[in-house]
Amino acid sequence: MYIADPEAHVWQDGKIYVYGSRDESDDFWCSYKHHVLFSDNLQDWNVIENSFASKGEFDQVDYHDQLLFAPDCAYKNGTYYLYYCSPKTLCEGVARSKSPLGPFSAGKEIIGANQIDPAVLVDDDGQAYYYWGQGKPKVAKLKANMTEIDSSTITLPLDEAGNKAFHEGSSIRKIGDWYYFVCADDSRENRPTCLGYATSKNPMGPFEYKGVIIDNIGCDPAVWNNHGSIEKFKDQWYVFYHRSTHNSQKFRKACIEPIKINKDGTIDEVEMTTQGAGKALAAGDLMQAERACLLSGKVFIDESKSNDIPNEELTNIAEGDYAVYKYLNFEKQLKNFRIKTNVSNNGLVELRLDEPDGTLIGSCNLSKTMNKTAFQISNCEIESVKGKHALYLVFKGENNSFFTIDWFQFY
């Protein structure tokens, strides 16, 4: 399920809820509906589909039938407010529900907010603030009804460095006496693959740009943007972000990594991992290949075309490409490795630790498969490994070999 632009909130019941846009096609961004993810432990997730829509059976926007980009949600006085945006009409709106899961109904346009990516903070005194924008962010006070902005308060909240880094994707949190403004940051790579942040003692700014929290470059050859939020869950802060798949700017997946708020208020940049919010993964467990957290070369994650069961795989793998899994915990004595592949010509996969040219613990020969839909299981012995390591699968091939991988396992 491809949910991008994740805005995470812990509500009164202690559960965490993630609101985001939904990618459905490579021909356009997002879709005409929003789903809501929720969890009480960050490991097991549920989804409520069609909690809000701008078109079709669950339509709650009577003034247009346009796509829905990134949303946010806020709570005040027993009501949950879903803030949404539609780029073709250059308008933003708000719908209501008595449940954090929706359905959200009676969408109403917010006059004066005519770009994208709304974010809302309800401060300790009950005053709410509305953030939005593309190219340059804006902030305004929300009126007490939570559905209108006070246009006389509109201001630009970021300092010069922040305005240079800001692309879109406003998100706002309060930590202690400080306000944290998070956004899609294009200060690297000439594309907004980073989530950057800025801080202020005032919700209206000025916010001082501080740097990058996470960069999703390397998740897919065609990755274009990032968008997300930070949220505290059971005494730990996390960054919620997305990764592209399918060799596309779209088909984005919501992801999580733990972060640390330092004593001086700064946030150290963190890396993308396979384990996400959990502990290092047991090396002996079967690993679905699409859980790679970093890719190099032409390789990308795609839907499997080999059967009618929903599945993903690593595909388009060529000579010298590699895929990374962070982190695996080698607690038990494991002696062998097996991998399910489809290979156009003979090749091999090197198993290396912690770096693309790191310690070689095994090489698994891969034989040419019969056709494009046939898979085979290949095995090899490995050297003894102990402790927590990043695993690099490095691919070598003959005569422009083409690899596809479904899963692998140490045993």
CATH number for position 393:
2.60.120.260
CATH number for position 183:
2.115.10.20
Predicted pLDDT of residue 229? 98
- Domain-located, residue 114: yes
- For the cut 90, the answer to whether the pLDDT of residue 90 exceeds it is no
**pLDDT, averaged across the chain:** 95
Predicted pLDDT of residue 133? 95
Predicted pLDDT of residue 397? 87
Last residue within a domain, chosen from 259, 289, 324:
259
Predicted pLDDT of residue 308? 66
Predicted pLDDT of residue 372? 72
Same domain as 285, residue 255: no
> What number is the average pLDDT over the span 336-360?
96
Range of the domain at 130: 3-259
Last residue within a domain, chosen from 191, 224, 259:
259
Which residue's structure tokens are 């038990």? Answer: 332
Same domain as 238, residue 167: yes
Same domain as 171, residue 302: no
Predicted pLDDT of residue 309? 72
- Domain-located, residue 267: no
Same domain as 179, residue 303: no
- Domain-located, residue 274: no
pLDDT digits (tens, 9 = 90+) for 26-69: 999 999 999 999 999 999 999 999 999 999 999 999 999 999 99
User: How many separate domains does the chain show?
Assistant: 2
Same domain as 285, residue 248: no
pLDDT digits (tens, 9 = 90+) for 93-138: 999 999 999 999 999 999 999 899 999 999 999 999 999 999 999 9
Same domain as 285, residue 212: no
Does residue 177 contact residue 124 with C-beta atoms inside 8 Å? no
- For the cut 70, the answer to whether the pLDDT of residue 2 exceeds it is yes
Going by pLDDT thresholds of 50, 70 and 90, the confidence category of residue 310 is confident
- For the cut 90, the answer to whether the pLDDT of residue 190 exceeds it is no
Cα separation of 32 and 128, whole Å? 27
For a pLDDT cut of 90, what percent of the chain falls above it?
91
- For the cut 90, the answer to whether the pLDDT of residue 373 exceeds it is no
N- to C-terminal Cα distance for the chain? 30
Same domain as 244, residue 117: yes
Same domain as 285, residue 253: no
Nearest to 79 by CA among 125, 11, 17, 130: 11
- For the cut 90, the answer to whether the pLDDT of residue 286 exceeds it is yes
> What number is the average pLDDT over the span 204-220?
98
- Domain-located, residue 221: yes
- For the cut 90, the answer to whether the pLDDT of residue 89 exceeds it is no
- Domain-located, residue 194: yes
Going by pLDDT thresholds of 50, 70 and 90, the confidence category of residue 298 is very high
Structural tokens at position 372: 């494009």
Same domain as 232, residue 83: yes
Predicted pLDDT of residue 118? 98
- For the cut 70, the answer to whether the pLDDT of residue 306 exceeds it is no
- Domain-located, residue 377: yes
Same domain as 174, residue 107: yes
- Domain-located, residue 206: yes
Same domain as 322, residue 239: no
- Domain-located, residue 268: no
Same domain as 241, residue 337: no
